[in-house]
Amino acid sequence: MMDVTDRHCRYFLRLLSPSALLYTEMITARAIVRGDRESLLGFDAAEHPVALQLGGHDPVELAEAARIGEGFGYDEINLNVGCPSDRVREGRFGACLMLEPDVVAAAVGAIRSAVRIPVTVKSRIGVDDREGFDFLSSFVERVSAAGCRVFVVHARTAILSGLSPHENRTVPPLRYAVVTELKRSRPDLTVVLNGGITTEEAVEGALRSVDGVMVGRKIVDDPCFLATLEQRFVNPSATLPDRTAVVYRMYEYASRLAARGGRVHHVTRPMLGLYRGQRAARSWRRFLSERVCQPDASPRLLLESLRIVEQVTETE
């Protein structure tokens, strides 16, 4: 998720789920090859396992970016051919590449030759009027022949003309049956379902037909949902994280970041939904949102935020 799953967000989410595979934002191969690699790729060891999500169409450039990513310690390289934004389309990467399966296959082959870690592909079920099982199956057949064994499929068609990126996440109907049919037809592949998964029941139902589930926007709004999934589907004996303890850990993290010149709002941004469903949720979110914008904002405001929670709790 662009501008969402940065290193600070991933560190926070790892406190809620020890085992979930976390993904970076999509980063263009060109930016990695030519830009500030530490800024783009640096991450905390606590984030493992974490996948580097790449965008691009040039096999040589993608292979070099993947090689650099492996050198930074990423656990997986994921090629994103599902993003529908105008900016992505103009750069000839993202969902428009589903219309060029030979290009995607060449990219996958080049990346696999450059790294030893797994190489996966994230896609949609189709693009504009070319969609559905036959289209997706043909695309997967070509790309899997290049060596990709894992496909993460957002169960919506990408509408590249007429819909904004936000609308592309909500307007095209979800067609889970297309993804489950892909798994039935290709049991040799690992198929992961993405799109519109917001409940434990939906995850449980999906796992009867596919190998895994990717959850995105729901986690942004309700981060603790990730901890709930960890407990229910990975480690039933695990206890749900204590929110206060999570805030203390993020205070320590923010303090280390500030010592290197980082800004606290980068740390608090992914935390705003931590108390979702609790009485203190609105007051806590408002406090952080308002205080983090002030010139004197420091990591200590995270400790101060806990007093807001205590005050609301004491009035119950």
Compute the half-sphere exposure of residue 221: CA atoms within 13 Å on the CB side of its CA.
Answer: 9
Phi, psi at 136, each rounded to 5°: -65, -45
How far does CA 275 lie from the centroid of its chain? 21
DSSP class per residue in 126-173: EETTEESHHHHHHHHHHHHTTT--EEEEEEEEE--SS--HHHHTTSSP
Q: Cβ of 254: how many Cβ atoms within 10 Å?
A: 24
Predicted pLDDT at 15: 97
Predicted pLDDT at 72: 98
d(CA 62, CA 64): 5
Predicted pLDDT at 178: 98
Tell me the domains of the chain and their CATH numbers: 7-216 (3.20.20.70), 243-314 (1.20.120.1460)
DSSP designation for 285: H
Predicted pLDDT at 89: 59
Mean pLDDT per block of 10 residues along the chain (316 residues) reads 87 96 96 96 97 96 98 98 75 87 98 98 95 96 98 95 81 95 98 97 97 95 96 91 96 96 93 93 93 90 92 70
Predicted pLDDT at 170: 83
Predicted pLDDT at 13: 97
Predicted pLDDT at 1: 63
Catalytic residue ranges: 83
pTM of the predicted protein model:
0.94
